[in-house]
């Protein structure tokens, strides 16, 4: 039973994460808040933002290497501009 509770806590980490502003957050904040986005993808988001400017819409994330429709769809509620 104890193992099950620990497993559920680990799996639900991002469920309780705060929404993240992808135009202001650093890579660690982005990785902690978005499901399926690790440190490397989060760094790509920050790099894209520095090179191209602020994101105008959530769907602009598709232009970032490693971020696709599925990742955006499962994180829409956790992304702010």
Domain spans, the chain: 21-80
Task: Domain 21-80: give its CATH code.
Answer: 1.10.150.280
pTM for this entry:
0.78
DSSP state letters, 16-37: GPPPEETTT--HHHHHHHSTT-
* Residue 1: per-residue pLDDT: 73
If pLDDT is split at 50, 70 and 90, which confidence band does 9 have? low
- Which residues does 59 contact at the CB level (< 8 Å), separation at least 6? 72
What average pLDDT is seen over the chain? 88
Own/partner long-range contacts of 35-39 (Cβ < 8 Å, ≥24 apart): 35/71, 35/74, 35/75, 35/78, 36/70, 36/71, 36/74, 36/75, 37/67, 37/71, 37/75
Q: Which has the higher per-residue pLDDT, 60 or 18? A: 60
């Amino acid at each position: 039973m104890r193992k099950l509770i620990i497993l559920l806590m680990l799996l639900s980490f991002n469920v309780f994460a705060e929404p993240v502003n992808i135009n202001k957050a650093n890579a660690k904040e982005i990785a902690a808040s978005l499901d399926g986005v690790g440190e490397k993808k989060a760094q790509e988001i920050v790099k894209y933002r520095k090179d191209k400017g602020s994101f105008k819409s959530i769907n602009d994330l598709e232009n970032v290497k490693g971020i696709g429709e599925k990742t955006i769809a499962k994180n829409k509620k956790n992304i702010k501009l």
